[in-house]
Each structure stands twice: as C-alpha cells, then as structure tokens.
Amino acid sequence: MFEYFYNEIFRSVIIGFGSIFNGIEVKKSNSVIKVPLAYGPTQKFLARMQQEADLNKPISITMPRMSFEFLGLQYDPTRKSTQTQTIINQTPDGANVKKNYLPVPYNMRFELSIMTKLNDDMLQIIEQILPYFQPAYQVPINFLGNLKEKRDVPIQLDNISMEDDYEGNFDTRRALIYTLQFTAKTTLFGPISDVTGKVIKKTSIGYVAGSSAPGVSAERDLSYTTTARATKDYTGDVRTLIAENVDLLETVIEVDDGTKITAGKYVYIGQEEMLVDSVTGNKMTVKRAQDNTSVQNHVKGAQVFGIDYTAAKEDSALIQFGDDFGFDGSIE
C-alpha cells in the first residue's frame, strides 16, 4: 500500500473534457470565428477585462471566449463493483502479464463558462453544445496505456445559468455569461502489477495410511492432485450463438451450430458459466451457474464462449493472481 504510481487519469479526463468544446465556431457577417478555449476560472478573465476597460485599445481580451475548470471530486457508491475482480493483459508470447484491480468510481465536477458581448453569439455557441447532452455525452478515454484499457466516460450536463454583466456607463464592456455545470463519471485505477510466474496452478498431496509397526508394509498410499481450471473464457473463443431467448429455469438451450459444442466441457455466456452434459443436434443440455456464477437471462444471438476447448487448455494457462477459478482433480 502507498507505493508510488501515477496513471494520469485526472489529467486524461480534463483533457478529454476540454476537447469536446475545442471546435466551437461563431459566424459573423463576413467570417467564421473559432471561439478560444482556455483552462481557468471565469473571474480571471473578467478581471482582465476590467483592467483593459479602454474599448479602443488594439490589444485586449476578446469575446466571445470560453473557459473551463475542474471543481472537485465525489465518490459514487452507485457504480461500485466487486473489488477482487481484475483486468488482465498479456503479450502474445505470454512473457509479460500485467494486472490491475477493477477501478473505484468517482465523479469529477466541471464548469464551462461562455462569455460573449452579443446575445446572438451566445445563442450560436449554446446551440452547438446542448444537442449532444441528453443529458450525457460519452467521451472515450485511454486510462491505462500498459493495459490498453479504453473506456467511455459519461459527461453529464447538470445545470445551466445565465448572467448579464452590463451595469455602469457607456465605457463599461458588456459580458454576457452562460455557466454550464457538468459531472464526468470516471474511475480511478490503482497501481499496475506484474503477475507473471506468481500463480500456483497445480498442487499434489500424498500421504500414507496404515500400520507403523516394523516390517509391516503400508496399507494405503494415496496421492491427490488438483489443477486450476478456468471458469471463464480468456482467449475470445466464440463457439456459436444462442438461437433463442433463455430464461432463468431453462437447461436445454438451442444454439446455431451444435457441432461446435462438446459434452463434458464448460461454456461461458454473459457472466454465467455452464457445464454441458450432452449435445443433441443444435440443442445442448447444461448445468447452470457453475463455480459460483449466477443464473442469468440470455437473449437470442448472445455469444457462447468455449473454455479450454483445445488440448493445450489455453484458458486455464491464462489464469492470473486474483482470478476466480475451479479445480480439476485426480486420485491415485
């Protein structure tokens, strides 16, 4: 705990938020003007305008312009997930495996301020923004470069307020200000760890039972071997598709191609693991909710993933530290 790491998540979300509004334009009578966007509080720009009150000054703060700032964080318990589940990424040769636990949900609060002199400029800018927020707009963010974890961050529009700062004499510069408040539903990842070579995938226990008297041979020599067995698909091995909707009670499931399913093997549909008892034509008889997975409803067209359908048992070979897994055992 408290080892150094920096995944640049806040920085990535702030840049992603700003990029949404980076291409806003305002059309004048003879030209199209790109509205400048800067990071900083609105009051900073208003103060600059007051310092440069000379309307005839050739260099001054120009309008329209926009600014945004990051206001704060809040934990979001409604998006909490299982803390023990992990994200795994492995190189094609299997030499390098990285792991990170599922992230912690946090909401980032942003404020976007739009400043114009003319009401028509403001209406043009607002109309280019609001249609995309219903009330959220999805922004793809690459969170972890090493794990190639790219997620859509919903940015939700919470509130809009307007202020017309136009008091004083004719020398006062007018500032029509719209303030838009947003919430970005992001997630925070912990440190990335290397887990290659740290997983025990096979154990053997042997014991002898019987008399310990001199000259008397053991009555029983027992050896029990267990091997870790994957309970989900790691390799993306789609065997076939479901040909019907499946409710919570069904144990006979029709698929598109029953020849791709093998009796005695495990399959993975949605988040549910099943053991295939038998296959008849395009119908497979299964035992539902294996290895502590939950029974779920499945829709027609859902993918049926095979677990360890090759002789090399590739899925079981990819089990990583922290993953849930089952056991295959033998007694001699």
Helices (H), 211-311: none
250 and 327, same domain (yes or no): yes
The residue among 194, 209, 244 that closes a domain is 194
59 and 189, same domain (yes or no): yes
Per-residue pLDDT tens over the stretch 21-30: 998 999 988 8
188 and 39, same domain (yes or no): yes
pLDDT, residue 97, reads: 62
Q: Could you tell me where the beta strands, DSSP code E, fall in 4-148?
A: 25-27, 32-34, 37-39, 65-75, 86-90, 97-101, 104-116, 136-144
Domain assignment of residue 220, yes or no: no
Which CATH number covers residue 167? 3.30.2000.40
Domain assignment of residue 281, yes or no: yes
Domain assignment of residue 223, yes or no: no
The count of structural domains within the chain is 2
Q: Is 143 helix (H, G, I), strand (E, B) or coil?
A: strand
The residue among 145, 168, 194 that closes a domain is 194
Give the model's confidence band at 51: pLDDT under 50 very low, under 70 low, under 90 confident, else very high.
low
The answer to whether residues 44 and 35 touch, using CB atoms and an 8 Å cutoff, is no
Q: What percentage of the chain exceeds 70 in pLDDT? A: 72
Domain assignment of residue 142, yes or no: yes
Per-residue pLDDT tens over the stretch 56-91: 554 445 788 899 999 999 999 888 876 656 666 655
Per-residue pLDDT tens over the stretch 117-169: 888 999 999 999 999 998 899 998 887 765 566 788 999 999 999 988 665 55
182 and 243, same domain (yes or no): no
179 and 263, same domain (yes or no): no
126-163 burial: b if 16+ Cβ within 10 Å, else e: beebeeebeebbebebebbeebebeeebebebeeeeee
Nearest to 83 by CA among 188, 228, 239, 206: 188
Q: Using CA atoms, how far apart are residues 48 and 61, in angstroms rounded to an integer? A: 7
174 and 246, same domain (yes or no): no
The domain containing residue 24 runs over which residues? 9-194
189 and 244, same domain (yes or no): no
159 and 234, same domain (yes or no): no
- List Cα–Cα distances, 167 to 11, 43, 164, 185, in angstroms: 38, 16, 9, 38
Exposure on the CB side of residue 310, measured as CA atoms within 13 A? 12
pLDDT, residue 96, reads: 61
176 and 40, same domain (yes or no): yes
Domain assignment of residue 287, yes or no: yes
190 and 251, same domain (yes or no): no
The answer to whether residues 107 and 185 touch, using CB atoms and an 8 Å cutoff, is yes
pLDDT, residue 59, reads: 43
Residue 106 phi/psi, 5-degree rounding, is: -135, 150
| CA 157 and chain centroid, separation | 21
The residue among 170, 194, 218 that closes a domain is 194
236 and 189, same domain (yes or no): no
Query: Which residue(s) pair with 207 in the sheet?
Result: 222
The answer to whether residues 201 and 227 touch, using CB atoms and an 8 Å cutoff, is yes
Q: Give 47 or 135, the one with higher predicted confidence.
A: 135
Domain assignment of residue 204, yes or no: no
Which CATH number covers residue 261? 2.40.30
66 and 156, same domain (yes or no): yes
The answer to whether residues 100 and 108 touch, using CB atoms and an 8 Å cutoff, is no
Domain assignment of residue 224, yes or no: no
Q: Using CA atoms, how far apart are residues 112 and 86, in angstroms rounded to an integer? A: 35
> pTM here?
0.55
